[in-house]
Structure 1
């Protein structure tokens, strides 16, 4: 149970590519992030990443109208039928070519797949009892170029498809009435086409910025008629009523995407310049326009109510939800433009801070997954971020030669630390008191020390002969450990200022240094794929972990050797201790993250970083299909991604294709001990123990059963019942027993509880207090447990510290939630109280009778 971490969420990246769409009849936005699928609940302000991954990056998503099934397609044509209820893959199917569009019919019986010049119609899975969920009905091959978009009519008896051949085609699928109509009217490829609500009238949007309005002469229920009675009507025709141009309101370049909400008759159009326009149809009345980014918009979609618009930009990784009626943001999230480099947890585990190569420092809510503040003061890549011990300050180091301190209350940069001569800082550490800030340089191989209070440079620690790549402070005393490429780790007593206290000599370059929670042990990762443990007080080596055979390297497309014989990248660049100091987590430029036992120096568990083949170095074996007569196919430019020259907006003939390589830049355990996070190429992977349904009893015997526990609780033996339920370790049983204890007996029961079970009961309360209705009841339990067992908790602080941090985390969350509710209702409560004391009895009766909004009006009439 201690190491049964499961994938919990993906942070730091909100959108990669594909269509970001809303769930039907829900205020939840579904965004493809690499080969993951993230759901943003905009009502509850939370995010969730489904435990479902595809083989390559996701390109298209489609949901059934009843919101039970989803079809996910990757960029290589692999499709996955996913159940949204069990959040598991039900079926896999491979199309021969990449799919450009997929859409369910409104009645949920069919779905259409567009695959280059071919349009395929399938029976929707789950409607009939079939062995193969994807049963092909019919294929259409009458298109001369790639199909760009499709749309269904409201009665699901006809669909329209537009393509790059500047034509739009409408097909009828009513039995016995397979009719077809084709028309043009555009000078460039048709980006999107939309049926009008309860009609066959059509709108087509061209890439050149033109909108055509087409009127159909056939009644909407024509295809529902009996074929025998409709024999005389073998054709239908369309007439263009109007043609409008988007560029009339300004220079918006080419249209990249469009979405239409049929009930509200609102059209939203995205452009190559990063702007979007909102019009009301069919009159083409301009409502609003806004610039979202400097890059083309790749996704535009409406929610079911039609008041929210989701806009995604794949180039900048930006995702926002715009409420067009109030002209305000519902959600505005922007990941790091380039790769993330570092992260750190806040002391209570509620927040995560990340630094990226784009020079931005972002703070994320670990529970909701949203970024709530971004600092952009750095002018170059951020190499280190650290929370101070009180959690009120974030310190960051950058290659621009500055170390900055940010206030987490006012969200401002209040300190900037610089060196006498320009240097590049590549490592960072802050002491336990938060008064001393240290940064290691890449140029002059020195360690710079500043005062947080004054901002002055205190000292420059010299002695290393290579770049100082890692710094760590001891929590027990002001001892600083610095690791360098010169093959040495130096321990400095910062307060004494007498040079290095101890030098730990290694035969290879040092890559990472970490202190244990008690400050007694130093862990060092070196270039020879070893992790060594040293006693911080004596400088004696206490243990060694040989990691050579634990590292699983992938084979890059340009590698000439196999992954087993590959030596490059087989090293741990990042290591971190757990809160209790019993475990060490390590990661690097390879496929897995390893957790080691410090006491036994053994590998406990290994986690695979990614199985996304859209990233480089994820394959284990050579794929001979990617080899040509001239060498690897990766040497030939493909449309994987484009890197343009600086300052060139379009028309860059020197753009090159590249494939990002999988790697881990930083790993950290949460102070609560319940989760850990890793900075990877795809984002921040968060693995947690919460939510696992693993049965893990504690000192259980044959006499401890649910019936025996309930019997003890009914007899009033609450202490015995709680002890037995904690041994059985079933959450429902513990809840039932604890909540049966009378509130007047909590003091006595908690006083006589054995010290062995205090930590387990506090751990249960920490997980329960955030969602329970009996808040005061559990707060009383917390108060008496801490009051009666304070001395015991101090003596066993190593094991109890993660539990206390976890409890503090949820207590602070509940406090903030209650505080916000009280702030919103404070004026209303004061008003009601003041009116209850009014001398006029008639007014008091009016206030008491006003239970809804209409009561306020009655009260106003009484005052008048």
Structure 2
């Protein structure tokens, strides 16, 4: 049960592709991140990734008007119906083709999807459980090219569909007598967006050449007349198919109503151009707020404009990046505007009235290469191939500082033991130290001759910094205080792949491609104390938290365990078959044969040292029990088939008589706005770069609290944590230990017996009820009489309660008495107790940061109130003195 880690959150990735949307209350933003969905609470300042995943990358997201249901559609056309309230999957459906857009009607009864040149109207799922949640109502034909956008009228009577054939079609959601369809032209490029005005059929259409057309309708929404269902239509009006459950409305001939009813007609009232200054950039996204008449447009140059309609007066213009703006969304109040840039993975929320950012987050532009937890488990630092070092808050999920001093890929990052300094090694030949107090690079370590550093380590005191080079086969040692080079450790005959310090002694382990692991004594003149010979190249090395054991991953797929003091091998694990590699699209061998050359590249011990995490070029992370040397559990990092090496077997659907479809490169496609440059080329530029990223795990690290672990992968920074509230994990259970027995002991005043029985049941609610029934005066006596076996488990429980409960002082008293009375005995088994202490420290640090912010805010408010009262007192005194002087003057005049 203690290995029941589940996916908790996804950091480092905020937006990939698709459309972002606000929740109906306007306080949260929903963004598709690969094949997952992230919810950013802008009021509470935290981020959460839902435990749901589609088969491929999400391209369309639609929310119901009440915000309870959501529809996710991936790039293959597979749809998921989810509940945002329970965060669970309700239904699955396949549209068989890629879907361009999805939109719910304002009344929530129907929704429209567009695929190819067809718009399909479905009945929205209701509140009750249904056999089929997606029931097709009508199918609308008309456009000759792919459809791009959808918009509904306020009363859900009609909807408009834009197309790449430069036309916009207005369809009736019901059978109206004077409106079945209407086609609008007048543009010279693909339609990007179309919007109805509030409470009318008047329409705005926007094309990719930055042209806005305003269309006025001669009919009001209230003048739409329903067709008599009993009256038999004429043959020219009949547009039904033979399908029993769906109706098709084809735009081939405009049927005329039988009665003399005025048809709905549109005429173009005006046309506007955004590129007045000669900035010939492509318009890529647009959003419109109907109540405020605010139009926001985004361009391929990274610019966005805010206009007020119908005058098209420019309110604001700003450049947010040098990449195209992929999606725009406005919240219900019209205060916040969300922008997504797929090229940079950037997500912005802009408050246009105050001209300030509400949210501004961006992940690593390229892959993440390394990560490390802070000593208290509250922060994670990551390094990427883009040369950036980012620090993440585990509670909020946001990045709060980014260091951009490196000029090449960052290969390793780590915290010092104090948690105030971050060290990073890079291929640019430098190791840099960053301060988290002043947020700057205060020390730079370099080598006498240029070297590419591939790994990094710092000792427990934080005074000695070591980095291994992959081109000079040497390990460089610096002093943190002076920044000077202390020594160069030579002896390896291959690139240095990994270095690790003993947590309790000044012993450095270095792994190299020369099939050896060397142990260096940092105190005794940097000499080699032991050389461990391996059967293959060493790829990763790590110490157990107590420093008595070393785990080494080698190129032949084996993990070997060694005693650090004697240098003898204690065991090995054959992990090649546990990787379960996938088959790449261009591979000509099976996945079973390709796994022969693969191995684990990242190792990490759990916080208690009883298990080992291992990952590599696979979508799985393996958890091994060290003493038994068996596979305890496998964690799937991703199920996204948009990544390479995910298929285990050959997909015959992707094979043709000329070979695999993957060999036919069509460029980046029309999504990037590439024009057709060569005759015969279907889409894109043949010289453009096009690749599928391969799934892999580059780094693993366990939280010092023992409650979670993190992995950097192609998907981003994934957090797996324990969910103790849903796991029944009893301890030393017998027939007498029951919930009724615990409550009887509480009523009888047998506090120690009640607490021990509740901890043996290990049910959170019962243990909380038992602890909170204990009088505060008896806590010290109970802590002294508590058996040593239960002290560590009680500390872990107190850490979680301090983080959640309102009874802060009560639980702090428990923790204080436990540490004061049992602290001496805990030193003997410090390694097993250390995760509990770290978890307690994390909870206290979180409360300290929150309370300190609140106190600072209150202090400034009190200063402001005091100054304001003084000003009012001075003003009142001046008025009283003026009144007194006036009365004296009147008295003198009377005399």
Q: Structure 1-normalised TM-score?
A: 0.94
Pick from 688, 693, 706 the counterpart of residue 660 of structure 1.
Answer: 693
Matches within 5 A, 1:393-404: 393-404=421-432
Q: Does the Cα contact within 8 Å between 2:14 and 2:363 map onto a contact in 1?
A: yes
What is the rounded CA distance, in whole Å, between the counterparts of 1:704 and 1:100 in structure 2?
Answer: 59
What is the rounded CA distance, in whole Å, between the counterparts of 1:152 and 1:836 in structure 2?
Answer: 54
Q: Does the Cα contact within 8 Å between 1:174 and 1:223 map onto a contact in 2?
A: no
TM superposition shift of 1:717: 2.1
Where does structure 1 lack aligned partners over 5 or more consecutive residues?
Answer: 645-649, 844-864
Residues 224 and 495 (structure 1), Cα distance of their counterparts in 2 relative to 1, 3 Å cut: farther
User: Per-residue displacement from partner, 1:2-32 (whole Å, max 9, x unpaired)?
Assistant: 1000110111111111011112224111111
Q: Which residue does 1:119 correspond to in 2?
A: 119
TM superposition shift of 1:40: 0.8
* Residue range with higher mean Cα deviation, 471-480 or 226-235: 226-235
What is the rounded CA distance, in whole Å, between the counterparts of 2:871 and 2:38 in structure 1?
Answer: 53
SS at 1:656 equivalent: coil
Q: Does residue 787 of structure 2 align to residue 754 of structure 1?
A: yes
* Residue range with higher mean Cα deviation, 741-750 or 788-797: 741-750
Q: Which residue does 1:797 correspond to in 2?
A: 830
Q: Which residue does 1:18 correspond to in 2?
A: 18
Q: Which residue does 1:626 correspond to in 2?
A: 654
TM superposition shift of 1:133: 1.2
Q: Does residue 156 of structure 2 align to residue 194 of structure 1?
A: no
Matches within 5 A, 1:331-350: 331-350=359-378
What is the rounded CA distance, in whole Å, between the counterparts of 1:327 and 1:691 in structure 2?
Answer: 43
Q: Which residue does 1:325 correspond to in 2?
A: 353
Q: Which residue does 1:508 correspond to in 2?
A: 536
What is the rounded CA distance, in whole Å, between the counterparts of 1:274 and 1:239 in structure 2?
Answer: 33
SS at 1:269 equivalent: strand
* Residue range with higher mean Cα deviation, 58-67 or 125-134: 125-134
User: Per-residue displacement from partner, 1:279-338 (whole Å, max 9, x unpaired)?
Assistant: 111111111111111111111001122111110011111111111111111111101101
What is the rounded CA distance, in whole Å, between the counterparts of 1:253 and 1:640 in structure 2?
Answer: 19
Pick from 554, 564, 567 the counterpart of residue 536 of structure 1.
Answer: 564
Residues 372 and 838 (structure 1), Cα distance of their counterparts in 2 relative to 1, 3 Å cut: closer
TM superposition shift of 1:751: 2.1
Q: Does the Cα contact within 8 Å between 1:341 and 1:679 map onto a contact in 2?
A: yes
Residues 655 and 298 (structure 1), Cα distance of their counterparts in 2 relative to 1, 3 Å cut: same
SS at 1:38 equivalent: strand
Residues 251 and 568 (structure 1), Cα distance of their counterparts in 2 relative to 1, 3 Å cut: farther
Q: Does the Cα contact within 8 Å between 1:516 and 1:581 map onto a contact in 2?
A: yes
Q: Which residue does 1:289 correspond to in 2?
A: 317
Q: Does residue 261 of structure 2 align to residue 260 of structure 1?
A: no
Q: Does the Cα contact within 8 Å between 2:176 and 2:224 map onto a contact in 1?
A: no
TM superposition shift of 1:835: 10
SS at 2:753 equivalent: helix
Q: Which residue does 1:40 correspond to in 2?
A: 40
Q: Does the Cα contact within 8 Å between 1:750 and 1:784 map onto a contact in 2?
A: yes
What is the rounded CA distance, in whole Å, between the counterparts of 2:201 and 2:189 in structure 1?
Answer: 23
Pick from 387, 411, 416 the counterpart of residue 359 of structure 1.
Answer: 387
What is the rounded CA distance, in whole Å, between the counterparts of 1:424 and 1:839 in structure 2?
Answer: 66
SS at 1:96 equivalent: coil
Residues 836 and 377 (structure 1), Cα distance of their counterparts in 2 relative to 1, 3 Å cut: closer
What is the rounded CA distance, in whole Å, between the counterparts of 1:360 and 1:575 in structure 2?
Answer: 23
Q: Does residue 842 of structure 2 align to residue 809 of structure 1?
A: yes
Q: Does the Cα contact within 8 Å between 2:175 and 2:227 map onto a contact in 1?
A: no
User: Per-residue displacement from partner, 1:322-370 (whole Å, max 9, x unpaired)?
Assistant: 1111111111110110111110100011111110001001111112111
* Residue range with higher mean Cα deviation, 742-751 or 287-296: 742-751
SS at 2:224 equivalent: helix
Matches within 5 A, 1:463-478: 463-478=491-506
Residues 736 and 448 (structure 1), Cα distance of their counterparts in 2 relative to 1, 3 Å cut: same
Q: Structure 2-normalised TM-score?
A: 0.91
Matches within 5 A, 1:821-836: 821-829=854-862
Residues 640 and 662 (structure 1), Cα distance of their counterparts in 2 relative to 1, 3 Å cut: farther
User: Per-residue displacement from partner, 1:357-404 (whole Å, max 9, x unpaired)?
Assistant: 010011111121111110000000000001101100000000011110
What is the rounded CA distance, in whole Å, between the counterparts of 2:218 and 2:153 in structure 1?
Answer: 15
Structure number with greater Rg is 2
SS at 1:19 equivalent: coil
Pick from 601, 607, 612 the counterpart of residue 640 of structure 2.
Answer: 612
Residues 372 and 569 (structure 1), Cα distance of their counterparts in 2 relative to 1, 3 Å cut: farther
Q: Does the Cα contact within 8 Å between 2:507 and 2:521 map onto a contact in 1?
A: yes
Q: Does the Cα contact within 8 Å between 1:553 and 1:591 map onto a contact in 2?
A: yes
TM superposition shift of 1:216: 1.5
Q: Does the Cα contact within 8 Å between 1:569 and 1:589 map onto a contact in 2?
A: no
What is the rounded CA distance, in whole Å, between the counterparts of 2:13 and 2:304 in structure 1?
Answer: 23
Q: Which residue does 2:51 correspond to in 1?
A: 51
SS at 2:744 equivalent: helix
Q: Which residue does 1:744 correspond to in 2?
A: 777
Residues 653 and 781 (structure 1), Cα distance of their counterparts in 2 relative to 1, 3 Å cut: same
What is the rounded CA distance, in whole Å, between the counterparts of 2:497 and 2:838 in structure 1?
Answer: 30
CA RMSD of aligned residues (A): 2.4
User: Per-residue displacement from partner, 1:552-609 (whole Å, max 9, x unpaired)?
Assistant: 1111111222212223552000101112211110000012110111111111111112
TM superposition shift of 1:211: 1.0
SS at 1:378 equivalent: coil
User: Per-residue displacement from partner, 1:247-297 (whole Å, max 9, x unpaired)?
Assistant: 125626110010111122111101000111111111111111111111111
SS at 2:797 equivalent: helix
SS at 2:317 equivalent: strand
Matches within 5 A, 1:340-489: 340-489=368-517
What is the rounded CA distance, in whole Å, between the counterparts of 2:163 and 2:671 in structure 1?
Answer: 28
Q: Does the Cα contact within 8 Å between 2:556 and 2:597 map onto a contact in 1?
A: no
Q: Which residue does 1:857 correspond to in 2?
A: none
Q: Which residue does 2:882 correspond to in 1?
A: none
Q: Which residue does 1:171 correspond to in 2?
A: 171
What is the rounded CA distance, in whole Å, between the counterparts of 2:284 and 2:844 in structure 1?
Answer: 47
Residues 89 and 443 (structure 1), Cα distance of their counterparts in 2 relative to 1, 3 Å cut: same
What is the rounded CA distance, in whole Å, between the counterparts of 1:305 and 1:839 in structure 2?
Answer: 37
Matches within 5 A, 1:563-602: 563-567=591-595, 569-602=597-630
* Residue range with higher mean Cα deviation, 522-531 or 18-27: 18-27
SS at 1:561 equivalent: coil
SS at 2:567 equivalent: coil
* Residue range with higher mean Cα deviation, 381-390 or 718-727: 718-727
Residues 715 and 639 (structure 1), Cα distance of their counterparts in 2 relative to 1, 3 Å cut: farther
What is the rounded CA distance, in whole Å, between the counterparts of 1:776 and 1:212 in structure 2?
Answer: 64
Matches within 5 A, 1:75-154: 75-126=75-126, 130-154=130-154
Q: Does the Cα contact within 8 Å between 1:298 and 1:313 map onto a contact in 2?
A: yes
Q: Which residue does 2:676 correspond to in 1?
A: none
Would you say how many aligned residue pairs link Structure 1 and Structure 2? 839
User: Per-residue displacement from partner, 1:220-261 (whole Å, max 9, x unpaired)?
Assistant: 322377969995434112232221111125626110010111
Q: Does the Cα contact within 8 Å between 2:666 and 2:685 map onto a contact in 1?
A: no
Q: Does the Cα contact within 8 Å between 1:431 and 1:478 map onto a contact in 2?
A: yes
User: Per-residue displacement from partner, 1:496-529 (whole Å, max 9, x unpaired)?
Assistant: 2242111111121000000111111111111111
* Residue range with higher mean Cα deviation, 286-295 or 379-388: 286-295
Q: Does residue 546 of structure 2 align to residue 522 of structure 1?
A: no
What is the rounded CA distance, in whole Å, between the counterparts of 2:867 and 2:452 in structure 1?
Answer: 62
User: Per-residue displacement from partner, 1:78-108 (whole Å, max 9, x unpaired)?
Assistant: 1111122222222111112100000000000
What is the rounded CA distance, in whole Å, between the counterparts of 1:383 and 1:543 in structure 2?
Answer: 29
* Residue range with higher mean Cα deviation, 26-35 or 167-176: 167-176
What is the rounded CA distance, in whole Å, between the counterparts of 1:519 and 1:376 in structure 2?
Answer: 34
Residues 176 and 784 (structure 1), Cα distance of their counterparts in 2 relative to 1, 3 Å cut: same
Q: Does the Cα contact within 8 Å between 1:205 and 1:212 map onto a contact in 2?
A: yes
TM superposition shift of 1:836: 11
SS at 2:593 equivalent: coil
Q: Which residue does 2:246 correspond to in 1?
A: none
TM superposition shift of 1:705: 2.1
SS at 1:733 equivalent: helix
* Residue range with higher mean Cα deviation, 14-23 or 83-92: 83-92
What is the rounded CA distance, in whole Å, between the counterparts of 1:103 and 1:70 in structure 2?
Answer: 10
Q: Does the Cα contact within 8 Å between 1:641 and 1:659 map onto a contact in 2?
A: no
What is the rounded CA distance, in whole Å, between the counterparts of 2:670 and 2:196 in structure 1?
Answer: 35
TM superposition shift of 1:702: 2.0
User: Per-residue displacement from partner, 1:95-146 (whole Å, max 9, x unpaired)?
Assistant: 1210000000000010000001111100001267742211111111111111
SS at 1:770 equivalent: helix
